[in-house]
Amino acid sequence: MPIDPLAGQPAPPDRLVNLAQLMADYYTLPPTKPVSFGTSGHRGSSMAGSFNEAHVVAVAAAVAEYRQQAGFKGPLFLAHDTHALSEAAWRTVLSVLAATEVNVVISSGREYVPTPVTSFMILEHNRAHPDKLADGIVITPSHNPPKDGGIKYNPPNGGPADVDITGWIEKRAGQLIEEIDSIKRLPLTRALKAPNVVESDLIGPFVEGLGQVVNLSKVKGSGLKIGIDPLGGSGVHYWEPIAERWGIDLTVVNPVVDPSFSFMTLDSDGVIRMDCSSPYAMANLIGMGDRFDLGLGNDPDFDRHGIVSGGGLMNPNHYLATAIDYLVQHRPDWPPQAMIGKTAVSSAIIGRVAAGHGRKVYETPVGFKWFVDGLNNSSLLFGGEESAGASFLKFNGQSWTTDKCGFCMTLLAAEMSAETGKLPHELYAQITARYGATDYLRLDTNLTDQAKEALVNLKPESLIGTSLANLKVVEASTKAPGNGASLGGLKVTLSDGSWFALRPSGTEPKMKLYVESFGGADLLSQITDEASKLV
């Protein structure tokens, strides 16, 4: 896909969403598309008829029914990010849950709540009250454009619900949306005063808990100057308490919350997208590189991380490998047999790093839900996705979060720098000296019906033994080796360790092509060209 001429530049007025229309459509347009849970909940836009009030009412009512049938007697933590539709959907969900007498916890002052905070609160509550299990709803479309909305359910394990649960909720919500007028609701003013709705400080416990997963005392005395760009996200008001509690020299370079995200620079395709793994979306923070030793960014629900080190944005795969290499050497109390979780489209260098430390890799399809159980029972010490989402265990080997945590991953960069005296990009250079350098590329293209059909009809076994980019195909599969689950696409490994994968996006109507070369940029280009022709 060609790079938009304005990529990395401030968003002009004609690229901003019409907030008045967006909100009017949420409340007045009937749903034209069904409830559909992708890799991380139901997502859509009110303007497209795919994320309207009826969708949210039906999902909230379905979740209330599910948790009642499952016997969850604890509270439901209700979280939302800074997208315009998130605020509207938060009010809608609360109106339903208050009427169904679900015990709901919201943040004091109706503060935004990041995804990892929700997971942390669920796990902490359930450790203390195993007879009254808590769960949560997070209202967010993640890093998607300002016109989008999203809603996902986190059961008592604290992570994204698995396919069995989301399948049940999706099916039940589809039934309820046909009888939407029968679902009980309370007006917002009454819902906020309902006896089953409680406001609680969620910032304080999370900020204090960060010391159990990252060595922030080491950062305190390091002299590191850290710049933070929350990209207008839900954790914007967490950074000042973090700085005060742990004595860290950090500056929030942009504290603005604006549901149009008008302060953003445009992504590669010319769309406003709060993707902290994109150098185009992170152009503002990258441009401040001379002011800080480290620049740290997050997406709107703070489940992703962006690391600016040495004046540039690190490739998420490079940072994942660096984090793993550091963690396994500086967490002596972690279970010795615990594995490292990676998705099939994450860098193969992660596997080389893991092997170098005698750790096994657990490779899964795309989606953090595949790591939830492993992080929960500490059979995984780390789970990470190439899209810049990861979490890892506390110092004592207990789970920190079972959803992606942008806070611990960004603050880990500061710990690594303070402990080693080297910035993350310098630590990654040491890794490539040991395990080899790679070139990695992810391309998003429009998903046509023909391309989707061609991908479905590809026979992986027919590719083994053939040549691509003058290298022999040694492995081709549509299933993940770690758990045998469907990749939702195809992954092909070549004889020198290079590989590529094709899969439809779970959040946008796009085809994703992932390519990694151990033979330099020219080989990367050749693999990309020949792999694209398969579909």
Catalytic residues: 142
For residues 281 and 270, what is the distance between their CA atoms, to the nearest angstrom?
Answer: 10
For residues 519 and 385, what is the distance between their CA atoms, to the nearest angstrom?
Answer: 23
Closest-CA residue to 101 (of 201, 185, 200): 185
For residues 36 and 33, what is the distance between their CA atoms, to the nearest angstrom?
Answer: 9
Beta strand 471-479 with 486-494 is antiparallel
Q: Which residues of 30-44 are buried (b: 16+ CB within 10 A; e: fewer)?
A: ebeeebebbbbbbbb
Closest-CA residue to 522 (of 533, 530, 514, 532): 530
Pair 3, 29: CB distance under 8 Å: no
* SS3 of residue 396 by DSSP: coil
Can you say how many angstroms the Cα of residue 165 is from the centroid of all Cα atoms in its chain?
Answer: 19
Pair 351, 377: CB distance under 8 Å: no
Which residues, including other chains, have CB under 8 Å from residue 418's CB and lie 6 or more apart?
215, 218, 219, 221, 222, 224
Closest-CA residue to 386 (of 475, 317, 333, 464): 317
Could you say which DSSP state residue 50 is in?
S
Which residues, including other chains, have CB under 8 Å from residue 332's CB and lie 6 or more apart?
none
For residues 259 and 281, what is the distance between their CA atoms, to the nearest angstrom?
Answer: 16
Runs of H (alpha helix) within 221-330? 239-246, 283-286, 316-330
For residues 103 and 87, what is the distance between their CA atoms, to the nearest angstrom?
Answer: 20
- Residue 181 has which token pair? 């007028």
What would you report as the CA-atom Rg of the chain, rounded to the nearest whole angstrom? 22
Question: For residue 137, with 0-12 CB atoms within 10 Å meaning exposed, 13-18 middle and 19 or more buried, which class applies?
Answer: buried
